[in-house]
């Protein structure tokens, strides 16, 4: 009997898996912080004897290579992934044994060129399939991460390989994707249930519902949105073989050194809740609240290679942020400071926090204040405020000087991106007001919302 243990990484919208027969186990698409998968193996009383990747990932740094080395296990990677380290290159039809279980390799190109899925067989019958970035819940993995000139080709291959995979499996086989829980590796909006089967996907999945490959290609590519800038580095790191993760605490930095780093243009990141940061923070710091969006959005706007110093009111918060950043290759913060803004010295700044009802009141007598919308292009096109300035968060660091030197009311879809943007604009010398509110409250507050013409 096979047991599948999902390991959630909600900060990145991904799942890894531990699958075992009660004694021996395989780890599939493990994240870099290995204590979680090793802890799951210990909790279940099993020994990891195989590590397998569905593909070399573009949205996180893998822990697969290090896990294989620590456990002495074979490391299975698709044969065309161009890895520069020793591994077991697997191809379509290979069978990997894990005690009483078997993982049958199925080539599923599309999300990447050499993507594979692993069909879990027990007693000679398929029970589940680990699909990585191919067949997701209701959709498939995006196909534009390899090369722009190959996107259409890979999209057609994604359509074909997903359909062939689904046709080869019984309807009750469970589907276990790696992406599709908020990851930007997803090709379109995923239904994101707690689980699914081949039968469910046959009825609801985009790739299985749309028969014509050209129609599918048009629909999938038409739904693609921007993806984080750090994705450009993940594949390179994973092909080269990631360095061993080091989560020891960074050196402690005092207030004077914080000031020097801020003055030098380094990123000193305050991890406190966004309203606390708005109420009081040291001038020049970046406010990035440590909640689920932290990893994606700080990683998106942080210039690659920029030294980072983390600041919080307790070391546990700093440790959690360090772990999250390491998952996307931002290793070893150059320092940490623990304490309140007042205790760390330097000039304190603040800016107001408002809701869409406050903006509606401010606009009631005329055009009102300057509004900056930091959502993505696709969000803007579906509806925005008249006269708002559109500056997507990932472009804000380089384009902040384009904004008028007037008070700026900043909003996004839920408050997190707006809070990060407000701190960056405050850091650049702008006067800001953070709209910490859900976008759907804008119309409810009486504000006009218009789509792109």
What does the pLDDT read at residue 42?
98
- 235: domain range? 3-240
Could you tell me the CATH number of the domain that includes residue 306? 3.40.250.10
Residue 289 has pLDDT above 70, yes or no: yes
Query: Is there a contact between 28 and 90 (Cβ–Cβ < 8 Å)?
Result: no
Q: Is residue 450 part of a domain?
A: no
425: part of which helix (H) or strand (E)?
A: helix 416-427
147 lies in the same domain as 128: yes
Kindly report the number of other CB atoms within 10 A of residue 36's CB atom. 18
Query: In 295-346, where do the E strands start and end?
Result: 308-312, 335-338
- Please state the pTM of the whole predicted model: 0.94
User: What percentage of residues in the chain have a pLDDT greater than 70?
Assistant: 99
Residue 319 has pLDDT above 70, yes or no: yes
17 lies in the same domain as 115: yes
> Which pLDDT band, with edges at 50, 70 and 90, does 189 fall under?
low
131: part of which helix (H) or strand (E)?
A: strand 125-132
230 lies in the same domain as 301: no
- Structure confidence by residue, pLDDT tens digits, 23-78: 999 999 999 999 999 999 999 999 999 999 999 999 999 999 999 999 999 999 99
> Where is the domain boundary, 298, 328, 349?
349
> Where is the domain boundary, 299, 322, 349?
349
> Which pLDDT band, with edges at 50, 70 and 90, does 190 fall under?
low
Q: Is residue 44 part of a domain?
A: yes
Nearest to 420 by CA among 266, 295, 253: 295
> What average pLDDT score do residues 104-118 get?
97
296 lies in the same domain as 340: yes
Ramachandran bin of 104, using left for φ above 0, alpha for ψ from -120 to 50, beta for the remaining angles: beta
What does the pLDDT read at residue 364?
87
> Which pLDDT band, with edges at 50, 70 and 90, does 135 fall under?
very high
What does the pLDDT read at residue 191?
59
169 lies in the same domain as 123: yes
Nearest to 133 by CA among 150, 157, 105, 158: 158
What does the pLDDT read at residue 82?
83
Take residue 325 and report the two structure tokens written for it: 């950043």
What does the pLDDT read at residue 243?
94
Query: Is there a contact between 411 and 373 (Cβ–Cβ < 8 Å)?
Result: yes
What does the pLDDT read at residue 185?
87
362: part of which helix (H) or strand (E)?
A: helix 356-363
16 lies in the same domain as 165: yes
81 lies in the same domain as 221: yes
- Structure confidence by residue, pLDDT tens digits, 335-385: 999 999 999 989 999 999 999 999 999 998 777 899 999 999 999 999 999
Q: Is residue 434 part of a domain?
A: yes
224 lies in the same domain as 129: yes
Could you tell me the CATH number of the domain that includes residue 77? 3.60.15.10
Q: Is residue 125 part of a domain?
A: yes
147 lies in the same domain as 220: yes
Query: Is there a contact between 342 and 362 (Cβ–Cβ < 8 Å)?
Result: no
Q: Is residue 248 part of a domain?
A: no
Kindly report the number of other CB atoms within 10 A of residue 200's CB atom. 18
> Which pLDDT band, with edges at 50, 70 and 90, does 81 fall under?
confident
141 lies in the same domain as 187: yes
418: part of which helix (H) or strand (E)?
A: helix 416-427
Interatomic CA distance for residues 121 and 103, integer angstroms: 6
- Max Cα–Cα distance, the chain, nearest Å: 73
Nearest to 427 by CA among 316, 319, 301: 301
380 lies in the same domain as 271: no
Which range (101-105, 116-120, 396-400) has the least confidence?
396-400
Residues near 411 by beta carbon (within 8 Å), at least 6 away in sequence: 356, 359, 371, 372, 373, 374, 418, 435, 437, 439, 442
Per-chain mean pLDDT for the chain: 95
Compute the half-sphere exposure of residue 50: CA atoms within 13 Å on the CB side of its CA: 26
What does the pLDDT read at residue 186?
85
What does the pLDDT read at residue 427?
96
User: What percentage of residues in the chain have a pLDDT greater than 90?
Assistant: 92
Take residue 243 and report the two structure tokens written for it: 């360095």
How many domains would you assign to the chain?
3
> Where is the domain boundary, 184, 212, 240?
240
312 lies in the same domain as 409: no
Nearest to 287 by CA among 317, 312, 264, 307: 312
What does the pLDDT read at residue 145?
94
Query: Is there a contact between 256 and 46 (Cβ–Cβ < 8 Å)?
Result: no
What does the pLDDT read at residue 453?
63
- Structure confidence by residue, pLDDT tens digits, 236-272: 999 999 999 999 999 999 999 999 999 999 999 999 9
Interatomic CA distance for residues 34 and 38, integer angstroms: 6
- Structure confidence by residue, pLDDT tens digits, 407-434: 999 999 999 999 999 999 999 999 999 9
Q: Is residue 245 part of a domain?
A: no
> What average pLDDT score do residues 161-184 get?
96
DSSP 242: P
């Amino acid at each position: 009997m096979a047991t599948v243990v999902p390991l959630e990484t909600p900060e990145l919208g991904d799942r890894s898996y531990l699958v075992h027969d009660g004694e021996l186990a395989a780890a599939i698409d493990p994240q870099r912080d290995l204590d979680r998968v090793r802890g799951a193996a210990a909790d279940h009383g099993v020994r990891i004897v195989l590590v397998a990747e569905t593909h070399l990932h573009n949205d996180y740094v893998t822990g697969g290579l290090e896990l294989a080395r620590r456990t002495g296990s074979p490391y299975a990677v698709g044969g065309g992934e161009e890895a520069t380290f020793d591994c077991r290159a697997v191809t379509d039809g290979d069978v990997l044994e894990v005690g009483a279980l078997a993982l049958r390799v199925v080539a599923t190109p599309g999300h990447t060129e050499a993507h594979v899925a692993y069909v879990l067989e027990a007693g000679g019958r398929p029970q589940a399939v680990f699909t990585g970035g191919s067949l997701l819940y209701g959709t498939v993995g995006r196909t534009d991460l390899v090369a722009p000139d190959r996107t259409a080709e890979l999209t057609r291959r994604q359509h074909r390989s997903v359909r062939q995979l689904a046709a080869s499996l019984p309807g009750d086989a469970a589907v276990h994707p790696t992406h599709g829980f908020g990851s930007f590796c997803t090709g379109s909006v995923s239904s994101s249930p707690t689980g699914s089967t081949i039968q469910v996907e046959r009825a609801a999945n985009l790739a299985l519902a749309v028969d014509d490959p050209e129609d599918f290609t048009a629909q999938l590519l038409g739904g693609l949105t921007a993806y984080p800038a750090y994705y450009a580095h993940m594949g390179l790191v994973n092909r080269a073989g990631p360095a061993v993760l080091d989560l020891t605490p960074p050196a402690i930095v005092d207030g004077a050194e914080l000031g020097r780093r801020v003055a030098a243009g380094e990123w000193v990141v305050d991890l406190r809740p966004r309203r606390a940061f708005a109420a009081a923070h040291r001038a020049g710091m970046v406010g990035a609240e440590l909640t689920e969006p932290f990893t994606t959005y700080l990683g998106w706007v942080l210039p690659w290679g920029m030294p980072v110093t983390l600041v919080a009111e307790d070391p546990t918060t700093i440790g959690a942020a360090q772990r999250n950043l390491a998952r996307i290759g931002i290793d070893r913060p150059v320092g940490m400071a623990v304490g309140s803004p007042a205790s760390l010295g330097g000039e304190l700044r603040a800016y107001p926090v408002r809701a869409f009802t406050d903006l509606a009141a401010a606009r009631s007598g005329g055009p009102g204040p300057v509004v900056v919308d930091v959502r993505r292009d696709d969000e803007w096109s579906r509806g925005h405020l008249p006269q708002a300035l559109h500056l997507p968060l990932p472009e804000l660091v380089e384009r902040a000087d384009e904004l008028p030197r007037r008070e700026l009311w900043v909003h996004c879809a839920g408050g997190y991106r707006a809070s990060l943007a407000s701190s960056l604009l405050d850091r650049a010398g702008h006067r800001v007001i953070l709209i910490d509110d859900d976008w759907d409250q804008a119309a409810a507050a009486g504000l006009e919302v218009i789509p792109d013409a």
